[in-house]
Structure 1
Amino acid sequence: MSSAHHLTVYYNTRCPVCDAGIDWQRNKLLALVRSGAVEFKDINEEPDALAHFGASLDDIRRRLHATDEAGRLIVGADVAIALWRLTPGEGWLAALSGNRVALPVTRFVYDRFADLLFAWNKWCGRG
């Protein structure tokens, strides 16, 4: 990854599933995190970080959000795919789930899981 690339991922640390998943991913991307090429930010510490994109705190608690090196917003399954592309040994997962044929299914499955997880977190009082 060249120094021109940058990915900032916003996630919800109040969700135990999200927090554990990002912690696991961060550890796999440690070299990129140390170089500053990939950042992980807790949206609860910066609730208005993506407000200029029209993304509310609940939007970000519901689905992963990220910004790329051009400042573009990436949401949901597309964030997971972007992370898999960067993660050693997980490029195949990005290629499999992010190809033209599979991507609509990947997004649908991700969104339904995210909806359930968000509802569960709300029910448990985690925002």
Structure 2
Amino acid sequence: MKTDSIIAYYDGLCPICVHEMKVYVRRGQGRVLLHDVNGDIPDDIDRQAALDALWVRKSDGALVTGWDAFIAIWERSPGFGWLAALTRPTVIKWPLDKLYRFLAPYRPRRKCADGACDLQS
């Protein structure tokens, strides 16, 4: 784990989320680590809150969520820094965060069969 690594707490039952997070892992070159919130999670993260929006633990231990979580990921993923810089100003970030939190509950999710899920991280 690199010293500037972050951990993205994401919904591993969401195919779109899984695909997107894998892109960041490939691009992040060890600076973006994944943790599926459908499995064990740290005590300081509420599972439902983490299912409602992306969460990231920054290298200093601070937790950020929503659009700030995406910005933290983009800052560590080569090729996405411009997107972090573009959406960081509050006047842009605030409406994007509101839109993300409104749309996130409508994302597709795989269903568990017989009470067992195939969890990916």
TM bucket (normalised to shorter chain) is 0.7 to 0.9
Partner of 2:103: 113
- Determine the C-alpha separation between the residues in 2 that align with 1:104 and 1:41: 26
8 Å Cα contact 2:10/2:17 also seen in 1: yes
Q: 1:42 aligns with which of 32, 36, 46?
A: 36
Question: CA offsets, 1:58-77, max 9 Å, x none?
Answer: 21122111111221111111
| 1:8 and 2:2 aligned | no
The Cα of 1:100 is off from its aligned counterpart by 2.6
Runs of 4+ in 1 over 3 A off after TM superposition: 124-127
Question: CA offsets, 1:9-59, max 9 Å, x none?
Answer: 111111111111111221111x2x1xxx4311112221x32x32xx32121
Counterpart amino acid of residue 74 in structure 1 = V
TM-score by length of 2: 0.79
Partner of 1:23: 22
Partner of 1:56: 46
- Determine the C-alpha separation between the residues in 1 that align with 2:48 and 2:13: 12
Counterpart amino acid of residue 106 in structure 1 = L
Counting matched residue pairs gives 112
Aligned to 1:9, the other structure's residue is in SS state strand
Instruction: Please state which structure has a larger fraction of its residues in helix.
Output: 1
The Cα of 1:4 is off from its aligned counterpart by 4.0
The Cα of 1:6 is off from its aligned counterpart by 2.8
Counterpart amino acid of residue 77 in structure 1 = W
Q: CA RMSD in A?
A: 2.1
Give the gaps of 5 or more residues in structure 2.
Answer: none
Aligned to 2:95, the other structure's residue is in SS state helix
TM-score by length of 1: 0.76
Higher relative contact order (CA 8 A, sep 6+): 2
